[in-house]
Amino acid sequence: MKLFRRQPLACIEVVELVTDYLEGRLPARDRRRFEEHLSACDGCDAYLEQMRTTIAVAGRLREEDVPPELEERLLVAFRDWRA
C-alpha cells in the first residue's frame, strides 16, 4: 500500500503492514516508522502480538502422521511400481 512519507503511520496503515514486517519485506525506513509507531501505540502492539499468536495456533493444526491406511496403500503402490 502507498504510505504518506512525511506523516507518522496511522493504525489503519499499520495493520496492513504486519505481514510485510514479519516477513522482513519492509524497506528500512518504513520498518523504522512501523517500529516507532508500535512503541507508542498499545493497540497496534497488541494487534501485532495477536497476529503472532494466530500464526502459532495455526502451526498447532499440523498433523505429524499420515493416516495409517493411506500409508499402507502408498506402500502397496510403491511395491507395484518397483516390481
Binding site for another protein (CB under 8 A): 1, 10-13, 15-16, 18-20, 23, 25, 41-44, 46-47, 50-51, 53-55, 57-67, 70-71, 73-75, 77-79, 81-82
Q: How far is the CB of 73 from another protein (least distance, A)?
A: 6
Q: Using alpha carbons only, give the angle 83, 71, 64 rounded to the nearest 5 degrees.
A: 140
Nearest to residue 70, comparing CAs of 78, 62, 80? Answer: 78
DSSP state of 55: H
Q: How far is the CB of 6 from another protein (least distance, A)?
A: 15
